[in-house]
Amino acid sequence: METAARRNRWVERLFTLLMRHTLDEGFRFPGGGLARRAVDGCMEVLAGGAEAPSREKVVDFCVCQVYALTFDAKMLRGWTPAHSFGRKALERFARNTSTLRYWEDRWLKEHGLSRGGLLHEVRDRSQHPLAKFLYPEYEDATKCRRIGTEAGLYVCSLSTLLWTPLSPVCRECTMAEKCREMTCERYPELYRLRVEHGKQGGRS
């Protein structure tokens, strides 16, 4: 059974995407128990007794929270997850109106975003059939053999799913760029997932 902690990681990816596209290109959602408990508790309230809130509702919620930060530079500098996923954040969302949504949509459009596009961008990768191959850690033992050589690349091409940014072996390998090209050509969808996952900091 999927835990709430795992189920809600896509919410962090959504919030990160919004922040990076609109306010702070270098934003990273903090790790640690406090941050995750804030998100998990917030999602539980939004769900209203269901297993989880709808994805459309979560997109609306995150848009509301990030848009609010555009008016508070001081809060943005001292931002913590509790600001956007705590009690006041839930109250802020409850007060949201169709007029505010109109201005939020205009703001999203200015940054080349839309609610529908956000839903597509942060679809839950845990549901993707290739998600389990984002980082098959057991392959690292094979990848270590003759690392950084043509022979090693040949072994990897026969016995592994090639390059992944999550593998420390791949990150250290001098053949990584060539291997990356092979991965893109041989496994285009898996390559796309791995690149996207790496950009989000590698959290599942």
User: In the chain, what are the domain boundaries?
Assistant: 4-127, 131-199
In the 8-state DSSP scheme, what is residue 24? -
- Distance from the Cα of residue 156 to its chain's centroid: 28
Let me know: does 179 contact 172? Beta carbons within 8 Å. Answer: no
For residues 65 and 195, give the distance between their C-alpha atoms in angstroms, rounded to a whole number.
Answer: 27
Which residues, 6+ apart, have CB-to-CB distance to 135 below 8 Å? Answer: 164, 166, 167, 194, 202
Residues of the chain with pLDDT under 70: 1-7, 122-128, 199-204
What are 105-148's pLDDT values in tens digits?
A: 999 999 989 988 888 776 655 566 787 788 888 899 999 989 99
- Predicted TM-score (pTM) of this structure: 0.60
The phi-psi region of residue 43 (left if phi > 0; otherwise alpha if psi is between -120 and 50; otherwise beta) is alpha
Let me know: does 129 contact 136? Beta carbons within 8 Å. Answer: no
Amino acid found at 146: R
